[in-house]
């Protein structure tokens, strides 16, 4: 099974739809946004709600990139532990980011409710599961550090975790009641739909080819047309396409693949993740698992399903399903897909000033929904007001990463090796 053979579940099940034509005329706007993922769509929505004119240019379709291929966990915070964030950013900046992203699910679910986005929003928390007894050491550290910053985390022992997950293969879990799950493509489309309703102009099939600074405004070239904008946000993340005139985001591309079963029988649904939490584990090569509204089991792991190791990743998924949930081990996988993650070397997102009144935000390292919504919303506010102090991070003038292609190949090779031997 490869991603191209069976396709993206989120595209098949999204109840949100958006049809936007390509840019076909010259425009003059307050804010131009490049990229129609979580960050770009949230920025367009915030700008339009504030009364600004905004044009969003998406090279393919809204949510085509990582936002529409996401696991769908609306997490609070980053993948890093709080103490690691403080070590990277310093006390003040670190605490500010921890607090801001700790409240990210409030922003996400608040927008969903306000804009009536139909995206299977389920705010019943997430479970970070210990894949082995040794994984509890990591969870205990996260529990102590998170609660020290006010996070209402709960540490579950093996018996309670196994009951909540419906699997004897977890050895404890860290429960975060702030978080939850969404249908990620539907959420992204819903953001864009709400932005359009608020007055934003959204264009699909509109790849930007050039950005230039002209006087006190930006000129964005797309489809042979020009968009003149007072401010510019580049929100292309891991799906950035080459364009002239702007520093590209620097990150290591990491693939993450997912497999979705047929809907589980009622008896299994009553025992497996019956409360609807989203899960991921403490393994070195992380796995995720969750259910959707129809009762499908969605299992994910690092790896490019369309690459040379696609068959190995698919074999691992079948074994992993059997290991976690023996009673549904033979359910067929009806969908398989993968996407790219933009991973920074320190696993902290970046906001880069690419010019006057122009920002680029990227590098969520697998945490796109909450941070992407926060960063996009805040970037729109900052660019339109000219006050950058409200951004979740102090913007930098430039950001470089070395050997990104080699690192990406290393991660893929490692995931393939681990999956070849794993869950046996």
Q: Output the pLDDT for position 93.
A: 98
Specify the CATH architecture of the domain 3-421.
3-Layer(bba) Sandwich (3.50)
Task: Determine the distance from the C-alpha atom of residue 279 to the mean position of all C-alpha atoms in its chain, rounded to a whole number.
Answer: 15
More confident: 159 or 5:
159
How much is the pLDDT for 265?
98
Per-residue pLDDT tens digits for 233-245 = 999 999 999 999 9
Which residues neighbour 178 within 8 Å (Cβ) at sequence distance 6 or greater?
Answer: 76, 102, 105, 106, 125, 151, 152
- Mean pLDDT (whole number) for 44-54: 98
In angstroms, the Cα distances linking 360 to 13, 264, 356 are 31, 42, 12
Report the alpha-carbon distance of residue 325 to residue 21 in Å, rounded.
44
Q: How many CB atoms lie within 10 A of CB 137?
A: 11
pLDDT for 3 beyond 60: no
Percent of the chain with pLDDT over 70: 99
Distance between CA atoms of 224 and 95, rounded to whole angstroms?
45
Mean pLDDT of the chain: 97
pLDDT digits (tens, 9 = 90+) for 26-43: 999 999 999 999 999 999
pLDDT, position 157? 98
| Ramachandran quadrant class, 415 (left: phi over 0; alpha: psi -120 to 50; beta: rest) | alpha
- For residue 6, name the pLDDT band (cuts at 50, 70, 90): confident
Residues forming a β-bridge with 342: 253
Is the pLDDT at 1 greater than 60, yes or no? Answer: no
pLDDT of residue 358 exceeding 70, the answer is yes
What average pLDDT does the segment 30-59 reach? 98
16, pLDDT greater than 70: yes
pTM (2 d.p.): 0.97
Q: Please compute, for residue 239, the number of CA atoms within 13 A of its CA located in the half-sphere on the CB side.
A: 27
Q: In the structure, what pLDDT confidence band is assigned to residue 181 with cuts at 50, 70 and 90?
A: very high
pLDDT tens digits, 75-125: 999 999 999 999 999 999 999 999 999 999 999 999 999 999 999 999 999
Give me the residue spans of the domains in the chain.
3-421
Average pLDDT over residues 134-156: 98
Question: Among 259, 243, 284, which Cα is nearest to 335's?
Answer: 259
What pLDDT score does 424 carry? 85
Whether 298 shows a pLDDT value over 60: the answer reads yes
Q: What is the pLDDT of residues 187-198, one digit of tens each?
A: 999 999 999 999
What tokens appear for 401 in the block?
Answer: 């990463």
Distances (CA, A) of 222 to 61, 101, 201, 236, 271: 15, 33, 14, 15, 51
Q: What is the pLDDT of residue 4?
A: 45
d(CA 331, CA 318): 9
């Amino acid at each position: 099974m490869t991603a191209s053979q069976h396709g993206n579940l989120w595209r098949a099940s999204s109840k949100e739809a958006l049809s936007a034509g390509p840019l076909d005329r010259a425009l003059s706007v307050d804010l131009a946004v490049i990229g129609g993922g979580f960050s770009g769509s949230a920025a367009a929505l915030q700008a339009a709600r504030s009364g600004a004119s905004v044009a969003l240019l998406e090279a393919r379709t809204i949510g085509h990139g990582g936002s529409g291929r996401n696991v769908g966990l609306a997490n609070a915070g980053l993948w890093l532990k709080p103490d690691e964030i403080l070590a990277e950013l310093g006390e003040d900046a670190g605490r500010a980011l921890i607090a801001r992203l700790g409240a990210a699910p409030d922003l996400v679910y608040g927008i969903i409710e306000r804009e009536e986005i139909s995206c299977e929003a389920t705010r019943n928390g997430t479970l970070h599961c210990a894949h082995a007894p040794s994984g509890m050491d990591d969870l205990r550290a996260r529990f102590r550090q998170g609660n020290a910053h006010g996070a209402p985390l709960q540490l579950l022992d093996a018996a309670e975790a196994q009951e909540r997950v419906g699997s004897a293969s977890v050895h404890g879990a860290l429960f975060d009641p702030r978080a939850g799950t969404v249908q990620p493509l539907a959420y992204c489309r819903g953001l864009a739909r709400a932005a359009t309703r608020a007055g934003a102009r959204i264009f699909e099939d509109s790849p930007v080819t050039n950005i230039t600074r002209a006087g006190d405004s930006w000129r964005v070239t797309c489809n042979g047309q020009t968009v003149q904008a007072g401010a510019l946000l580049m929100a292309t993340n891991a799906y950035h396409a080459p364009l002239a005139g702007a520093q590209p985001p620097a990150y290591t591309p990491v693939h993450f693949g997912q497999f979705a079963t047929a809907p589980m029988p009622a008896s299994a649904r009553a025992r497996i993740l019956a409360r609807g939490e989203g899960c991921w584990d403490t393994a070195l090569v992380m796995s995720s698992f969750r259910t959707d509204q129809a009762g499908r089991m969605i299992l994910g792991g690092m790896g490019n399903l369309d690459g040379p190791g696609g068959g190995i990743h698919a074999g691992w998924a079948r074994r992993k399903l059997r290991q976690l949930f023996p009673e549904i081990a033979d359910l067929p996988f009806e969908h398989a897909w993968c996407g790219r993650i933009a991973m920074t070397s320190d696993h902290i997102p970046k906001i880069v000033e690419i010019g006057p009144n122009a920002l680029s935000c990227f590098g969520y390292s697998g945490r796109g929904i909450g941070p992407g919504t926060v960063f996009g919303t805040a970037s729109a506010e900052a660019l339109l007001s000219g006050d950058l102090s409200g951004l979740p991070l102090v913007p930098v003038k430039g950001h470089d990463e070395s050997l990104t292609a080699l690192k990406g190949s290393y991660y893929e090779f490692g995931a393939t090796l681990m999956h070849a031997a794993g869950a046996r």
